[in-house]
A and B are shown apart, each in its own frame.
Chain A
Amino acid sequence: MKNIFRFLYELIIGRPQPPMETPLYRGEIFPDVGGITLLLVTFGMVAFYYYVLNHLLQTAIFSHWYHWLGVLGINAIIAFSYAVYYCQVNEATPDSYIYWFGVANAFYSGVFFLLFSMAIKWRSNNAAKTPF
């Protein structure tokens, strides 16, 4: 799993900067942030959208694509914020890499949000066809 997150993040933002912090990013930040935001939080948000908002609540007012996009956007903000916060908590050098990491995490949160949506939406009562 560590290698997957490392591959994903470094594919977009390159190797960690400054180079001396590479072990910190690869060993702790990438897997922790990726695991929590891309897997746990994103899955939770997708489940919340499809099975709370559009199933348990007995309303169909949130079933449009733009509602789905809104939840995806909130999830991306969470992903960005948590990535930056986690870097700061772990005393990573405060330079632009932290923010590029946040942006990459937000981007991947969108990708994972889409993938999880495709995987679990079919049982949702009101949003099985959202976003398409």
Chain B
Amino acid sequence: MAKLFVFGIGGTGARVLRSFGMLMAAGVDIRCDKVIPILIDPDTQNADLNRTVEMLKSYRRLHDVAGAKSGFFQKDISKLADIDQAGAGKVKDTFTFDFGGINQSFKEFIHYSEMDPDTQSLMQLLYTEDNLQSPLTIGFKGSPNVGSVVLNKLIDSPEIRFFADNFRKGDRIFIISSIFGGTGAAGFPLLLKNLKNPDSGLQNAGDISSALIGAITVKPYFGLQSDNESVIDSNTFVTKTRDALAYYKNNLQGLQAMYYIADNPDNPYENRPGGASQKNNAHLVELLSALAIIDFMDYSDADLSGSTLYHEYGLKEDSREITFEHLYDDTKQKINKQLVQFKFFAKYYKDFISQDKGKNYFKSLNLDDAFANDGFHKELRNFLENKQWGFYAWLKELSVNSRKFSPFNLNTDNLNLLIRDKPIGNTWLKKGITHDGFVVRLNKEEKNQSEETDPRRKFLKMFYNVTEDFYNNKVPSI
């Protein structure tokens, strides 16, 4: 299998990749050897972007320990710099695209003052004064006409050249963008156009232009509070979407699969055009968008050889509060088992494991010492419990957003009630999941994993196998 390059453009791209990272942490399978996310957003202070980057960095460190067979964190998510076989260090060692700090206004960027008066007049026709004066450090503030100019330089960047150098026949590309903002709406068609150009001048341009490319373009799914001070007005989202779709209809060439998703905006977000204050709660639409990446990789090369496949997402049942029950079987098969397993693992790790001192598996793995001194456990705790970007924060954000995605009861300590609306029966004849039962299974699993010499990998495998056993034998079908 080959590599998958995922371009996440703008704030939505970053948020979708955050959900994608959580699914990968839970062990959701994707058919490729390696995923290489590349986040493209000139707004380097954007909180959504930085939360995703922190999460991906943490994931990467955990995967380095977990390897490819531990169940959780098993998929290799690498930075672009990691695939540099020559080790030349041509690009920054980060998940983000380096815009080199474009700390100038759009006016300065296009050298407005050096233009002749006629061209300046044309510019004034195409751009508002606010567009021209807008500093590019916080992105394009919902203006794709600005973004399309700035991002056109993307193709000349070291990152894209580096990506091209390391692209091999058989690798695939997936592009995530929103259609109603600035960066994503502008960046997606530009990026696609350049990738599909066999004469782009990039190394392996032929292989890249013939590569299988999928994309999701996220249509409006949230609104923004009205704010006279802000240049972004969510009332224009639909208009902008319609215009962009009209453009896409005639100008998007060479896509093998195109995914669309949208939702009725409800409960508007605070109106933050960018920067550190743009921190939107995780949303179900972003999670479902992440599934598009997995779905795209499920198709064989032959399946994608015909005309473009178009997909839209639909819920089995409309509700403002979504649980597993509201998803179609196809989605459930992809995520239910893994998310339930990971949730059981996270819950046990957070609330129960500290009570297991003296238990067999705890002593065998020397966990008392490991919790205090092993960086792996500090990293794991951070991944699960970080209040900004961790797994629990992600679940919490999903459950309070609108529409809500709340498949788990986040406030219960009863393991049998963890899955919302699907209590696990606990009778004398058939026991449910208890703390003691968990310990017994962990003890047994610790013995079964005697061939695994790395205690950290063994730890993950044990929990994966135990939670899998619980899912298969105790959890009612969902």
Binding site for B on A (CB under 8 A): 58-61, 63-65, 124-130
Contact = CB atoms under 8 A, between A and B. Distances in A.
Interface residues of B, number: 12
Contact of B447 (A58, A64, A128, A130): A128
Contacts of A60: 359-360, 436, 439-440, 443
Contacts of B360: 60, 63, 124-130
A129 B361 CA distance: 8
B440 A59 contact: yes
Contacts of A130: 358, 360
B358 A126 contact: no
Given A60-B359, A129-B363, 13 more contacts: A59-B436, A60-B360, A60-B436, A60-B439, A64-B358, A65-B358, A125-B360, A125-B443, A126-B439, A126-B440, A129-B364, A130-B358, A130-B360
Contacts of A127: 360
Contacts of B436: 59-61
Contacts of A61: 436
A63 B358 contact: yes
Interface in B106-135: none
A64 B440 CA distance: 13
Nearest to A58: B440
Contacts, number: 38
A130 B436 CA distance: 17
A130 B363 CA distance: 9
A59 B359 CA distance: 11
A125 B364 CA distance: 12
Contacts of B364: 128-129
A126 B444 CA distance: 8
B410 to A, nearest CB: 27
Interface string B416-457: 000000000000000000001101100110010000000000
Given A59-B440, A60-B436, A60-B439, A125 B363 contact: no
A125 B358 contact: no
B359 A63 contact: yes
A58 B443 CA distance: 11
Contacts of A125: 360, 440, 443-444, 447
A39 to B, nearest CB: 27
Contacts of B439: 60, 126
A127 B444 CA distance: 11
Contacts of B443: 60, 63, 125-126, 128
Contacts of A128: 360, 364, 443, 447
